[in-house]
Amino acid sequence: MRLLFDQGTPVPLRRHLVGHSVDTAANRGWSDLDNGDLIERAEEDGYEVLITTDQNLRYQQNLSGLRLAIVVLLSTAWPDIRLHVEKILTAVADIRPGEVKEVPIRLGVKGQRDD
């Protein structure tokens, strides 16, 4: 699966997404694009999933009719995100085109249920 990290997604996460092709907005030269343009460009270039930490994305953009799926990490801190890699892997594996999934991440708490 082709995955794109936005600006706030910690790059070390890519090491844990084995079997997926992972690019970053920065590496693609898309750092200055606003969210709407980033989503459009990602779809045009064939990305299947955008991984973001922008919790307001779904409220700022019209996401209806997208082919791109979006995984929203509810933290920007790598030390906390790394404790929840399994939840992120599950979200990526289960997400469908056009869907938005939020991955709850409790700060400093490994394996705690978030429901």
Q: 3-state class of 96 per DSSP?
A: coil
* Number of H-type helices and E-type strands within the chain: 4, 5
Closest to 10 in 3D by CA, of 84, 77, 69, 93: 77
**Residue-range domain boundaries for the chain:** 2-103
Q: Would you state the pLDDT for residue 106?
A: 80
Q: Cα–Cα distance between 42 and 4 in angstroms, integer?
A: 7
pLDDT for the residue 105: 92
pLDDT digits (tens, 9 = 90+) for 38-77: 999 999 999 999 999 999 887 777 677 889 999 999 999 9
Question: What's residue 114's pLDDT?
Answer: 42
What pLDDT, in 10s, does the model give residues 77-95? 999 999 999 999 999 999 9
Statement: residue 112 has pLDDT above 70: no
Q: How high is the pLDDT of residue 109?
A: 58
